Amino acid sequence: MLRTLMLLTTLGAIFLAVGFLLAGFSGMLFALLLAVILDLSAYWWSDRLVLGLYNAKEFKDERVERMLERLASKAGIPKPKLYLIETESPNAFATGRNPKNSAVAVTRGLLDLEDDELEGVLGHELAHIKNRDCLISALAAVFATAIAFLAQIGYWSIFA
């Protein structure tokens, strides 16, 4: 939680500074409003956005569900929802704002792995969920996109 707060404070300060440099006090207020909207959006909907970008669909597979259940129990977190991405490249990611609202997405290619290999990948993703890395990554991505957007606005306001 402290890491998340530090990240939000740092990125928020950068965001406000860029807003101030671009348009003075009114730019700073606009940046503050935008930062609050982006924070809330990233917190509540980042998992759905990421899963949608990959066209991931909720998925039931007895083998993977058993592994997730066992590994989540070992990690002391609720079992995340399971999603499938239809691609043959073996890959996986975790997303969600907290362990109660989390998901693990796996690709079709990952399902071809041996049980011990698949278990290692799923364990890695569950570690991200347990450590709340997913929320921090989502917030950082949202702020990076927003800062790039503000920089582009600044560029066009100066050179247009």
Can you state the percent helix, strand and coil of the chain, rounding each to 5? 75, 10, 15
Using a CB cutoff of 8 Å and minimum separation of 24, what contacts does 59-68 make? 59/83, 59/84, 59/106, 61/111, 63/115, 64/106, 64/111, 64/118, 64/122, 67/115, 67/118, 67/119, 67/122, 68/104, 68/122, 68/126
Given 65, 88, 119, 125, the catalytic residue: 125
Q: Please, what sign has the CA dihedral across residues 146, 148, 154, 159? A: negative
Residue 86 a catalytic site member: no
| Residues recognised as catalytic | 125
